[in-house]
Homo-oligomer: A and B are copies of this chain.
Amino acid sequence: MSATGNTTETSSVAELGLRVKAASRVLATASTEQKNAALVAAAELLVARSESILRANEIDVARAESEGVSATVVDRLRLTPARIESMASGLRQVAGLPDPVGEVLDGWVRPNGLKIRRVRVPLGVVAIIYENRPNVTSDAAGLCLKSGNAAFLRGSSGAIDSNIEIASVLREAIASAGLPADSVVLVEDTSRDAAVEFMQQRGSIDCLIPRGGPSLIRSILDNATVPFVIDGDGNCHVYVHADADLEMASRIIVNAKMQRPSVCNAAETLLVNADVAGEFLPMAAAALEGVELLVDEKALAILPGATPASDEDWSTEFLDLRLAVKVVGSIDEAIDHIARYSSGHSEAIITKSLEAAERFTTEVDAAAVLVNASTRFVDGEEFGFGAEIGISTQKLHARGPMGLRELTCAKYIVNGTGQTRG
């Protein structure tokens, strides 16, 4: 392994943490030019080293296949020249985004003359723990680098050969651009013990972001002692108000459910006001062809062929061509249903009523509340962030799509002329 290689086989997680922390101090004050140069160098080297990355990936893919892993998982794991080019173009795109570091958030002068500014600074060390996709290694490292953070990465065992090779290429490119190779450090030990140790590196990790399913989230809740941001489930609702444009409502529920059912901002439940249910539900059912509707009693009376919903369906994130459907008597009932079952991700109302829109956006508690638009718009790209490290469903620190800005925090800078406290 080269001098800029990961060389992590012999280091403990804690030792790696100290290395990445030391690098974070350098990155914190690196200029935008330097960081962009490193990103572009990384993009170029990824492409130049495609062959060795693909060779490493072949090992992961062969192992997955020999273990009888599902075709979907193998597909997520598999790299191709086009996928490597897409990783590279992601890095180039991040190089083109504005640097969030240094932005003055606000500032004021105190009666005693102290001048206080709140300035955006990197978090320091951002840790990412993730599942099979090897492109996360490059995507996450790029976002961290641009926002002045060192990236401390822990991928899954299934993608370990790919991840080691990608991390090694990134490190070499970053070092060639004059920034520390340890700006990206991958933990090569993929044991469960190492994962738990990783989640407890309070001496080095400033923020942990998990990218994975419920069992990973559960492990973070049980074991992590470092601060974390949860990228959680999306049990998203679309509520069709009595005073809605029903053609629009139909287009929106079709888009929210069907355009990409497997993602967190897809709709899972359709709530329809009783006044328009008789007209709307047959329209919607026709437009939602191919989607299994799981309906409450009132909806069943309108759509006699549909499947009756079970209690569990209201809280299920199907991530599939299934949609729970409920008829509600009022906006209050819709808001109450959402308060009870929502995961706080994205909630939409379709209405022409200003009052209903105002009530819904004020009273519904979610990262994003939409009026007359598909829930599918709630992501970093669609919000204009250029890139996204996840979508937070917690309220602390970041809520909703997380771009470069959400990978920063603030520092107070106080300028005085000798003031002392009386």
Interface band, chain A = 35 or more
**Closest CB-CB distance, A387 to chain B, in whole Å?**
16
Give CA–CA (A229, B416) in the complex, Å.
29
Residues 2-35 of A contacting B (Cβ, < 8 Å): 25, 28-29
Is the pair B339, A377 in contact by a Cβ cutoff of 8 Å? Answer: no
Q: Which of B108, B202, B378 contacts A414 (CB 8 A)?
A: B378
Instruction: Say yes or no for A376: interface residue by CB 8 A criterion.
Output: yes
A395/B206 contact (C-beta < 8 A), A110-B382, A384-B108 known: yes
CA distance A4 to B108 in the complex (A): 42
Contact A415 B372 (CB under 8 A): yes
Contact A397 B399 (CB under 8 A): no
Measured in the bound complex, the distance between the Cα atoms of B203 and A124 in whole Å is 30
**CA A221 – CA B382 in complex, angstroms?**
36
Task: Give Cα A369–Cα B248 distance, bound, in whole angstroms.
Answer: 53
Query: Residue A367 at the B interface, CB < 8 A?
Result: yes
Query: With an 8 A cutoff between CB atoms, is A368 at the interface?
Result: yes
List of B residues within 8 angstroms of A227 by Cβ: 394-396
Which residues from chain B contact A251 at a C-beta distance below 8 Å? 418, 420
Which chain B residues lie closer than 8 Å to A384 at the CB level? Answer: 108, 110, 116
Query: Is residue A89 within 8 Å, beta carbon to beta carbon, of the partner chain?
Result: no
Among B255, B357, B367, B411, the residue within 8 A (CB) of A411 is: B367
Contact yes or no, B252 A420, CB < 8 A = yes
* Residue A273 CB within 8 A of the other chain: no
Contact of A372 with B339 at beta-carbon distance under 8 Å, contacts A114-B377, A377-B114 already known: no
> A361 near B: Cβ within 8 Å?
yes
The distance from the CB of A138 to the nearest CB of chain B, in whole angstroms, is 25
In the assembled complex, A259 has its CB within 8 A of some CB on chain B: yes
Distance A116 CA – B370 CA, assembled complex (angstroms) = 9
Is A374 located at the chain interface by the 8 A CB criterion? yes
Q: How far is the CB of A204 from chain B (nearest CB, A)?
A: 12
Q: Which residues in B have their C-beta under 8 angstroms from that of A252?
A: 418, 420
A123 at the interface (CB under 8 A from B): yes
CA distance A418 to B225 in the complex (A): 44
A374-B421, A377-B419 are known; give 9 further A-B pairs, CB within 8 A. A25-B365, A29-B363, A123-B396, A202-B221, A206-B394, A372-B418, A373-B416, A396-B397, A399-B412
